[in-house]
Amino acid sequence: MIQFILLFSRQGKLRLQKWYTSQTDKSKKKITREIIAAVLSRKPKMSSFLEWKDLKVVYKRYASLYFCCAIEQDDNELLTLETIHRYVELLDKYFGSVCELDIIFNFEKAYFIFDEFILGGEVQETSKKSVLKAVNDQDVIQEEELEEKRSVLEDLGLA
Amino acid sequence: MKFPDLSMSNPVRLRELIRQIRSAKTAAEERAVVQKESAYIRDAFRDEDNTWRCRNVAKLLYISLLGYPAHFGQLECLKLIASTRFTDKRIGYLGAMLLLDERQDIHVLITNSLKNDLNNSNEYVAGLALCALGTICSPEMSRDLGGEVERLMKSANVYLKKKAILCAVRIIRKVPEQFDVFQNSVRSLLSEKHHGVLLTATTLITEMCQQNTQALQVFRNLVPNLVRILKNLIMAGCSPDHDVSGISDPFLQVHLLRLLRVLGRNDNEASDSMNDILAQVSTNTENSKNVGNAILYETVLTIMDINSESGLRVLAVNILGRFLLNTDKNIRYVALNTLLRVVHADQNAVQRHRATIVECLKDADVSIKRRAMELCFALMNKNNIRTMTDEMLDFLGTCELEFKSDCTSNMFLAMDRFSPTKQWHVDQMIKVLTTAGNSVRDDIVSSLIGIISSTPDLYGYAAHQLYKKMQNDITQQPLVQVASWTLGEFGDLLVNQQPQNEENLRVVEIEIIDILERILNSSLSTVITREYAINALMKLSTRFPNCSDRIQSVMTYYACNMNLELQTRAVEYTSLFTKHNIIRSSIVERMPVLISNQTSNTNSSEPEESIINSKENSPVNGKHEHVPSDEPINLVNILDDHIQTTSGTLNPNHSSSLFNPLEDPLFDFDTPTNPTTKSIPSMTAIDKNGIRMIFTFERDNTTLTINSKITNSTQYSITNFIFKAAVPKTFNIDLYPASSTTIPTNNSGDIQQIIKITNPNREKIRMRIKLNYQLNNTNMSDEAELNTFPEQCYN
């Protein structure tokens, strides 16, 4: 199971975090700090795996963002790399050539996509199409509601 | 910079806020923006503003991502969830997952909303609820909503089905008893075609089996189904949507393999039925990309963990061997890791890849290096010990500091087990000491001393080698400590037995004293090193009588030293020169062969105590020749109480006493309980096939110390001699390492071993012994039952 996932920039700024274990805010911050420091200090020639406490941390850098996944001892590290890659592909497809700014300004969308791909720390859907369809369908519902709201407010002269 | 608009108009849009925060040039500016907006949001929440709640919560979530507090938004998330609008719910559930978890009391308020939403006709609403449940559910929520989740697992809607299954996984992790709720629905899931359902169902079954052995047995009969699904996946090659680089749904493949592993473990029948598919996956999977290797990796793990046939295991090790040659460092890492786990079970198979593993010692990645190092040690055996030791010495010279102490400890262990000759052993150990500098652990120093002590023929050689190394450098503490001890004990041998081929390097007594003094006086020496040095000097006072005066003056000088330990010793030694000069020679004479304790026990770093605690068991030392006169006999007697001789030459009864050491606080020995110095007759334990084992005894109340001496009267030498002994349960037996495993021919030498038996009930001692050895390259084995222990041993 994935225990948590962190996305952060090369300067160490957190862009996304998802925790599948219960932790206090304080301990989340501490863990985040430690892991960011550990990953940023890795040299390019090193492997993508870190041991951290009793977990394995799998990380991969895509452009200016580090994608970091903490998995348990009996999880397959190489598969986790594929999981991370799949998520990046989903983001790429959704945003059209994704870059860090997309994730910064649309962080909630990044979360929505993630939640359609992984649930409770486990992969729920391996078809890219299905994941993106679910996200798009929900976006459509949101847009329809927004249209509705706008027209109501216009009617009332409040828009 | 623009501050958010506080007027009655609409609150700042999320994007705008993000832009504002990002345009802040300093941390203080950012804080100001955030705090202003935060305050605005708090006010808006207080005003129960429905219209913009969604936007405000979204902004709050962004702020919390930056690290600012956002707990005041928790209740708002709940309100959003309760709203009928999908947009609200979407943000509300996201907020709940980010801001709430089991620790907050608030989050039980969610349960009702969740229940409603799980029953919502819109699948995406139910989906949101399932997602939140799967992320943050608590034990209470698990119990309350387990039934709903189970119902959704049976839904025809695959979108909800797969989410419900993963929820179930989470629920049984939190509340294992809930397993009952889900167990019946699980089976049928495997006959679905949808990949998401299959994947999640596999995950659920795996979780159930890992938690519950009953489930494990029940689900074992699913193995054929799983094998079939996997087979179809590999063969069919359909569904490009699930493919990665041409490999069908690797996620599903890996999870299936993992479940097979769990089911096949410790079960022959299940393992047999998997052999074929595992072989098929191993040979057919493309290994050019990470994807294929991920599957191969999982396959290897499975093969190694179940009761697979040996051909399959060899196949698995070979896959790992190929991984080691892969340019991708992640794959090498994974290979080394796995090899480490299997090396003990399949050593021969792994040996084949030894050369590649040794190459990995030079890798840039620290984790890879560490694993390669551990593997190298696991692969050492008596055939490759020489080459491997050379490799490890190279590694030791260039590796990072964090590795050095582990590396040296392991090298010593390996050399201890596999050294071809004693001289090689001593040479290599000296090399390790010079390469490792100060990273050698303390217990290594004492075990090294023990090893040197147990090789009488190498005393002079060892002393010479160590002296040479010390001439260059006296800053490496472990080396200096060992060298000081050796020079102190065997300095005379060094001076008298110069090695033939190095005539020009005759060492003179003065030089040895010089170097020891230098060590003693050097500010780079630690206190422990200096203690070693001062002891060594003292010992040399008798071995080099000409230098005795000089040594005495050193002692006198140190009698005022600021360090308490050094001062104490110096004072004692000075008194050995003056008041107690007569016993000086017997105090510091050559030590008998040390009983080297296992490396795991930390020997005291004070070798001095060994003099007091060692048992005499060989005529090597000259104790028997020195019969102390009456006057200082009291001092010797205290020492005697710990040193027991079988011949009882020393008279324990003393008449006159200059001072009673027992009352003198300087000598704080434990008074022994009931020392028995009456002699116990020795016993021949076994005399068979030319092997003769003689036991001599020393007894201390309920502890019997047996000194066993084994000789070989045949004309063939005996090698790999292992002695095993067993006693009835009421006794306790301790076997100390033997002095050697080789007995030279024709009674020209022997093996000595100490055995200690505790006999608290003072029962008649019985022992069964077994000898395993090689005589003229044939393996031999002898057994005997010993019942004829002399009465004095136990009565």
Q: Give B290's DSSP letter.
A: H
pLDDT the model gives residue B238: 65
Separation between Cα atoms, residue B406 and residue A121, nearest integer Å: 36
Model pLDDT, residue B502: 55
End-to-end CA distance of chain A: 47
Q: With helix as H, strand as E and coil as C, how does A46-103 read? A: CCCEEEECCEEEEEEEECCEEEEEEECCCCCHHHHHHHHHHHHHHHHHHHCCCCHHHH
Distance of residue A155 Cα from the nearest chain B Cα, in angstroms: 16
Q: Are B731 and B706 in contact (CB under 8 A)?
A: no
Q: Are B485 and B607 spatial neighbours (Cβ–Cβ below 8 Å)?
A: yes
Q: How many C-beta atoms surround the C-beta of residue B122 within 10 A? A: 13
Residue B656: CB atoms within 10 A of its CB come to: 8
Contact B431, B386 (CB under 8 A): no
- Which of B363, B321, B317 is CA-nearest to residue B344? B317
Q: Which residues of B touch A83 (CB under 8 A)?
A: 251
* Beta carbons of B294 and B250 less than 8 angstroms apart: yes
> What residues of A are in contact with residue B297 (Cβ under 8 Å)?
76, 78
Q: What is the pLDDT of residue B64?
A: 92
pLDDT of B8:
53
In this structure, the strands spanning B691-700 and A49-52 are: unpaired
pLDDT of residue B675: 42
Residue B562 lies in a domain: no
Residue B596: its pLDDT value, please? 54
Domain ranges of chain A: 2-125
Indicate the DSSP class of residue B51.
Answer: T
What is the nearest CA distance from A132 to chain B, expressed in angstroms? 12
- With CB atoms and an 8 Å threshold, state whether A79 touches B199: no
Domain holding B782: CATH number?
Answer: 2.60.40.1230
Cβ–Cβ < 8 Å for A66, A41:
no
Residue B2 pLDDT: 52
Give the pLDDT of residue B348: 85
Tell me whether residues A78 and B290 touch, CB distance under 8 A.
yes
Q: Tell me if A47 and B332 make a contact (CB, 8 A cut-off).
A: yes
CA B304 vs CA B348, B393, B430, B510, B723: distances in Å: 15, 32, 40, 63, 35
Write the burial class of residue B532 (CB in 10 Å: 0-12 exposed, 13-18 middle, 19+ buried). buried
State how far the Cα of B169 lies from the Cα of B173, in Å rounded to an integer. 6
Q: What is the 3-state secondary structure (H, E, C) of B301-363?
A: HHHHHCCCCHHHHHHHHHHHHHHHCCCCHHHHHHHHHHHHHHCCCCHHHHHCCHHHHHHHHHC
Measured in angstroms, the CA of B170 and the nearest CA of chain A are apart by: 6
The whole-number pLDDT of residue B259 equals 95
Does any domain span residue B705? yes
Phi-psi map region of B494: left, alpha, beta (phi>0 left; psi -120 to 50 alpha): alpha
Residue in A81, A121, A124 closest to B330 by CB: A81
CB distance B142 to B178 below 8 Å: yes
More confident residue, A28 or B746: A28
- A-to-B residue pairs, Cβ atoms closer than 8 angstroms: 155
Residues 6+ apart with CB under 8 A from B245: B286, B289, B291, B292
10-residue stretch averages of pLDDT, chain B, 795 residues long: 56 90 92 93 87 90 92 90 93 93 75 92 95 91 91 93 95 89 87 92 94 89 92 81 88 95 92 93 90 95 91 92 90 92 85 90 87 92 89 89 87 88 87 85 84 83 85 85 88 74 64 86 87 89 85 88 90 87 82 60 36 36 37 38 35 38 41 50 84 86 85 83 85 84 81 86 85 83 85 80
Q: What CATH number has the domain spanning A2-125?
A: 3.30.450.60
Question: Residue B763: inside a domain, yes or no?
Answer: yes
**Under 8 Å between Cβ of B80 and B92:** yes
Number of domains in chain B: 1
Give buried/exposed letters for B600-610 (b at 16+ CB in 10 A, else e).
Answer: eeebebebbeb
Nearest Cβ partner of B86 from A48, A108, A145? A145
Integer Cα distance of A51 and A70 in angstroms: 9
Q: Which amino acid is at B391?
A: E
Residue with the two structure tokens 């080691």: B324
Residue B713 falls inside a structural domain: yes
What is the torsion angle, in degrees rounded to the nearest 10, for the CA atoms of residue B299, residue B303, residue B304 and residue B308?
180
CA atoms of A147 and A144, how far apart (whole Å): 5
* Interface list for B 300-329 with A (CB within 8 A): 301, 329
- Tokens 């084949």 sit at which residue? B352
What average pLDDT score do residues A1-18 get?
A: 95
Residue from B290, B330, B334, B369 whose CB has the most chain A CBs within 10 Å, to mutate: B330
Angle among Cα A29, A31, A33 to the nearest 5 degrees reads: 70
Q: How far is CA B704 from CA A136, B145, B696, B747, in A?
A: 83, 68, 10, 27
User: Which residue in A has a C-alpha nearest to residue B369's C-alpha?
Assistant: A46
Cβ within 8 Å of residue B466, ≥6 positions away: B430, B479, B482, B483, B486, B487
Which residue on chain B is closest to A102 by alpha carbon? B15
Order across the sheet with A55-62: list the strands: A14-19, A2-9, A65-71, A55-62, A49-52
Could you read off the pLDDT of A69-118 as tens digits, one per residue? 999 999 999 999 999 999 999 999 999 999 999 999 999 999 999 999 99
- Rounded to whole angstroms, how far apart are CA atoms B14 and B26? 21
CB contacts of B195 in chain A (<8 Å) are 125-127
Spatial distance between the Cα atoms of B741 and B746, rounded to a whole number of angstroms: 16
CA distances from B251 to B167, B195, B267, B433, B647 (A): 19, 10, 25, 50, 77
Residue B346 CA to its chain's centroid (Å): 20
B 272-301 → A contacts, CB under 8 A: 290-291, 293-294, 297-298, 301
A76 shares contact with chain B (CB less than 8 Å): yes
pLDDT of residue B236: 76
Structural domain boundaries enclosing B699: 683-793
| DSSP-H helix ranges across B175-222 | 179-189, 195-211, 213-219
